[in-house]
Amino acid sequence: MSENSPLFVSSMELISHSIDLYTEGNAKKYKFVILHLANAVELILKDKVIDTGQSIYKDNNKLTIGIWECFKSLESQGVSIPERPVIELLIDDRNTIQHRFGFPNSESVYFYLKSTLEFFQRFLQDEYNINMAEVLLLHTSEENLELVGVRKRQETETRTLERLYEISPESAVLKAYNLLEERFSPYLSEDGRKGKLPVMLWHHADFNKKLKDLIVGGFLADGAHERFQELRQARNMASHSQHYGEVPIENWREALDIGIELLSGVEKAIKSGLLKKNESTEVETHD
């Protein structure tokens, strides 16, 4: 099959519509984001099943196979889907929403949107040799693709975070923290990592030293360590909101301001040459 097949086109339309709905910031429509994402995944997997030369119809030729049969069929053809655990969660939540009238919160929707887009980016490139952003531009705006991270942003990072904050303060805080980890990670020594696990800043042996260097160098204000911990706490609250209850909007605003401040300082330190990528010197430990 190709990007002109009905299943492929419908899948891309659903992905685009889910992005558009999310960027509206209307919590009442969040459930439709989940529904569209799950349906989009099912359609692209069915399209790939056909692409491998197998039928998507059951024995009576009236009903098509479900996602579980798609997994099994594609696995038999050597098509790898490492994102399957997250997709299974998405499908399960989709079913809950369909049959029990559930209402997902903004953090869950952002998680599923981000994870599903990452799956599509990888899957379309590996299995179709197609750039997802170019296809989605046929169905949604460049501005929306920038906002959800599919296309390289043309606006400033701060503006992107501010726009995301208008949609979901929790998601903006999560994104700011993730950007900080992503930005800082290449400048932390390999010695402080644990195996091949993604780096977690506060667990890394020389993170505090690097942060102190930025303060001494004038890129961050005194108290940056404490402000980082405030951001981390807010990030945890955004990730596990069901355990924290209602959080005052001013708390999210403060956390985002901290994230923007730290990101700005790190960017300036990188440009100045103060931060060096993956230094091989022995890591010091600090209390």
pTM score, whole prediction: 0.66
pLDDT band with cut points at 50, 70 and 90 for residue 283: very low
How far is residue 233's CA from residue 242's CA, in Å, rounded to a whole number? 14
The two structure tokens encoding residue 206: 């020389």
Do 56 and 49 form a contact (C-beta atoms < 8 A)?
yes
The two structure tokens encoding residue 161: 């975070």
Mean pLDDT, range 69-79, rounded to an integer: 94
- Range in 153-157, 182-186, 195-199, 246-250 the model is least confident about: 195-199
Domain boundaries, the chain: 6-147, 157-272
- Given this structure, which CATH class describes domain 6-147? mainly alpha
Angle at 201 between CA 197 and CA 204, to 5 degrees: 70
R_g of the chain, CA atoms, integer Å: 21
Mean pLDDT, range 8-13, rounded to an integer: 95
22-to-37, 111, 247 alpha-carbon distances in Å: 11, 12, 21
**What is the chain's mean pLDDT, rounded?**
84
pLDDT band with cut points at 50, 70 and 90 for residue 244: low
Q: Who has greater pLDDT, 190 or 227? A: 227
CA quadruple 124, 5, 153, 254: dihedral, nearest 10: -80
Residue-wise pLDDT for 127-174, tens only, equals 999 999 989 998 998 888 888 888 776 567 888 888 888 888 888 998
Under DSSP, the state recorded for 79 is -
- Helices (H) and strands (E) in the chain — how many of each? 12, 0
pLDDT band with cut points at 50, 70 and 90 for residue 285: very low
